[in-house]
Amino acid sequence: MTRTLLRCVAGGTAVLGLSIGLGAGAAFAAGGFAQVDGKRLISASKEPGSWMTRGGSYYETYFSPLDKINVNNVSKLGLAWHGDFDTDRGQQATPLFIDGVLYTSTSWSKVYAYDAATGKELWRYDPKVPGSIAKSVCCDVVNRGVAAWNGKIFVGTLDGRLVALDAKTGKEVWSQVTVDQSKPYTITGQPRAFNGKVIIGNSGSEYGVRGYVTAYDAETGKPAWRFFITPNPNNQPDGAASDRIHRELGYSTWGDGAWKQTGGGGTAWDAIVYDPDFNQVIIGTGNANPWSWKSRSGNKGDNLFVGSMLALDADTGDYRWHYQETPGDDWDYTSVQPIILTELSINGAKRKVALHAPKNGFFYVVDRQNGKLLSAEKFATVNWASGVDLETGRPVVYEQARYGVTGGDFLAIPGPFGAHNWHPMAFSPKTNLVYIPVQNIPFGYSDDGTFKYTAGHGNWNLAITSAQNGGPGDEPERKIQAMRTEGHLLAWDPVRQTAAWRVNHGGVASAGVLATGGNLVFQGTPDGKLVAYRADNGQKVWSWQGHDAIIAGAMSYMLKGEQYIAVLAGFGGSNALHVPFINAKVGTHGRILVFKLDGKATLPSNTKPVLNAVVAPDTFTDAQVKKGGELYGNCVFCHGFGLHTNNMLPDLRRSPIATSKDAFADVVLKGSRENKGMPKWGDQLTADDAEALRAFIQSRAKLLKRDLEAESKVSRN
């Protein structure tokens, strides 16, 4: 292993200057902090005790070869230490471990560094993201992790910056705004670093933005190249690496429709994998916008490059190949889900492949030299397509799934939550199995033909919002009850394309997965457990109970001969916000939890109690309630379908604020809770609108109170 000395380049100079006199950590990071470069990252298998990039190596397998903790002694695994964050939203990042230090991001794009042996906090960084940005976020104010390169830690911030931090001090080295901040772009994804560059994508396909990825010089922050996922709607060059291929191939795959106003979506908000074998980046691209193919593109064209795996030259951003998993997306089937790179023996030949289990429910094995589809099978319940034609590589879509063509409704499974979402899956080269957090969550789609583009708003599909946000009366509640769903951990043989074993979780319990050389698979649960299963047969061999949901992917590291398992706790994300009836423990703040054999640390409880329904004595008219139910479409992404929030964000039916006209107006119109992520709506809603919203909330609070009283009677009897 080589540890290059800090080079005196822009940014690096500052690191050298500050290193003098900083004793903290010198003992465990004698060679410097986060001194990773391409050579070290490509040779990650030579230092199995480190975890220097997303998924443990450039191959992003979420497999740690460490086996000191194994099936024979895992029963002795206990808490070694924990660290408390100052954020109370979803935690989706997996920490990095480099030279004795753990680095992680948290919700609100904050970053923490810890002494990995003791848990001592070394520094924390707050990019001071404005709380109002929460208005442009579909699925919580989360962040999925940091990247490291040459003494720097990189984080993408929710308001669209890419920031380089000094790995030793947490101080900003450079910061670049990577998006047009006048548009509803956000960043929740993890940067990746390679060849002296750092790359970041963005989010916002639900709101009407045009997705792209940008590579920057890791030392200076100077832009290197950019690739737009969708063509320029005016059929003009952008002066970007994507110009040529969109002229030759992309633009002609789009019909006439609302995409010319929204930009078509396709945002790359999670998987961006550097493939060192071919010096390319493989990008998982997002869903199209608006969701309805008819509204977006007149039911015409494949709409490149949404819903695809897209390979670009790592040095220039030039197009290499693509494989589109969902042509003409109608269902929010993003392909951003984690991509694993490996080599498999297929029909006697070794193939360098990409493994992918995107939202649409098919497991794909693709040759990463040329993008050729090798196999695709359903890994979950799927009713939008019967299969994938291996000759053409195209899905065989059922006619009724095209709701914009039939003019009817379509109850799809999977829906927009995906058969698999952002939760990391893992691949063990010991068992040759992929471990996938699977979820079966149905969703109804329709296109009522009324789509109208509104700048800066949720431009997805209005028909869905009104049908499922829970209007007055019991009918919407029944629809919400129907969203009760199922999840499981699936061990999948990627060569045979069949299940090896599965563990049913009952309700939705998706959480990231880590596989280890100790024949173990670790996965958290929303009700606060971390569980270990045997990797070969799925037998549960260890379980630990905490106080807060664990949904992030775990990692493992070795320090002074001791193996550790680290994972973040903190409930949030799209499932937490939008899927009712998850049996979750919700903490008052997020945490990092670190385990070792014979760990004896204790953990103080931080579980947030579930409040009772509160009803004001005020009376409202039916017209107010109806209007409020319609306006609630603006609130549904954060405050839940039918106001069910799984206790993660304030359940408005249980909120004392909603019983006071003045306090409610202060929050909704004037932004008195903007620093908590509740934006101010005074420029879009009137005082009458706010009162109508309160009328709707109170009507739902009354129903909840009635139901809770009935339940308590039953339990008393």
Q: What are phi and psi of 305, to 5 degrees?
A: -115, 45
Amino acid symbol at 342:
T
For Ca ion, the closer of residues 334 and 624 by Cβ is: 334
Closest separation between CB of residue 414 and Ca ion, Å? 12
Using the minimum distance from each CB to Ca ion, give the nearer residue, 208 or 679.
208
Give CA–CA dist 98/52, Å, rounded.
6
In this complex, which beta carbon is closest to Ca ion, that of residue 205 or of residue 556? 205
Pick from 207, 192, 427, 203: nearest CA to 312: 192
First to last CA, the chain: 69
Site for Ca ion in 455-494 (CB under 5 A): none
- Any contact of residue 329 with Ca ion (CB under 5 A)? no
3-state secondary structure of 12: helix
Shortest Å distance, C-beta 284 to Ca ion: 12
d(CA 182, CA 622): 37
Q: Which residue, 330 or 332, is less far from Ca ion as judged by CB?
A: 332
What is the three-class DSSP state of 103?
strand
Size of the site for Ca ion (CB under 5 A): 3
Amino acid in the structure at residue 588: T
Q: For Ca ion, give the closer residue by CB, 125 or 443.
A: 443
Q: Which is nearer to Ca ion, 97 or 460 (CB)?
A: 460
**CB-count burial class (<10 Å; 0-12, 13-18, 19+) for 256:** exposed
Q: Dihedrals φ, ψ of 354, to 5°?
A: -110, 135
Helix (H) or strand (E) holding 351, with range, is strand 349-356
Q: Which is nearer to Ca ion, 15 or 139 (CB)?
A: 139
Cβ of residue 206: shortest distance to Ca ion, in angstroms? 5
Q: Which is nearer to Ca ion, 150 or 335 (CB)?
A: 335
Q: How far is the CB of 137 from Ca ion (least distance, A)?
A: 12
Rounded to the nearest 10°, the torsion over CA 514, 566, 526, 283 is -50
Smallest gap from residue 352 Cβ to Ca ion (A)? 29
3-class secondary structure per residue, 116-148:
CCCCCEEEEECCCCCHHHHHHCCCCCCCCCCEE
Length of the chain: 717
What element of type H or E holds 16? helix 12-19
Give the number of other CB atoms < 10 A from CB of residue 216.
25
Q: Which residue in 75, 203, 37 sits closest to 541, CA to CA?
A: 75
Give min distance, CB of 405 to Ca ion, in A.
Answer: 21
State the nearest-atom distance from the C-beta of 590 to Ca ion, in Å.
24
- Comparing every residue's Cβ against Ca ion, the nearest one is 287
User: Which residue type, as a one-letter code, is found at position 479?
Assistant: K
Rounded-to-integer distance, Cα 312 and Cα 281, Å? 5
**Residue 329 C-beta: closest distance to Ca ion, Å:** 10
User: In this chain, which stretch among 242-250, 313-321, 331-339, 493-501 interacts with Ca ion, using CB under 5 A?
Assistant: 331-339
Q: What are phi and psi of 465, to 5 degrees?
A: -60, -45
* Residue 26 zone, left/alpha/beta (φ > 0; ψ -120 to 50; rest): alpha
Write down the least CB distance from residue 377 to Ca ion, Å. 24
| Residues labelled catalytic | 332
The residue (of 25 and 266) whose beta carbon lies closer to Ca ion is: 266
Phi-psi region of 496 (alpha: psi -120 to 50; beta: other; left: phi over 0): alpha
Cα-Cα-Cα-Cα torsion 418, 419, 422, 424, nearest 10 degrees, comes to 180
270-299 binders of Ca ion (CB under 5 A): 287
Query: Is 270 or 332 the residue whose CB approaches Ca ion more closely?
Result: 332
Instruction: Return d(Cα 571, Cα 504) in angstroms, integer.
Output: 20
In terms of Cα–Cα distance, which of 692, 701, 706, 702 is closest to 629?
692
Residue 290 CB, shortest distance to Ca ion, in Å, is 11
- What are the angstrom distances between the C-alpha of 657 and each of 40, 537, 622, 629, 695? 54, 50, 21, 18, 13
Smallest gap from Cβ 635 to Ca ion, in A, equals: 18
Single out the residue of 332, 377, 447, 689 in contact with Ca ion (rule: CB under 5 A).
332
Supply 326's token pair: 């969902």
Among the residue ranges 41-49, 332-340, 515-523, 545-553, the one whose residues contact Ca ion (CB under 5 A): 332-340
Q: Show contacts with Ca ion in window 194-213 (CB under 5 A).
A: 205
| Residue nearer to Ca ion on the CB measure, 319 or 637 | 637
Q: Cβ of residue 642: shortest distance to Ca ion, in angstroms?
A: 21
> In this complex, which beta carbon is closest to Ca ion, that of residue 326 or of residue 342?
326
DSSP secondary structure string, 640-695? -GGG--TTSS--GGG-GGGG-HHHHHHHHHH-TTGGGT----TTT--HHHHHHHHH
- What DSSP string describes 256-276? SSTHHHH--B----S-EEEET
Binding stretches for Ca ion (CB under 5 A)? 205, 287, 332
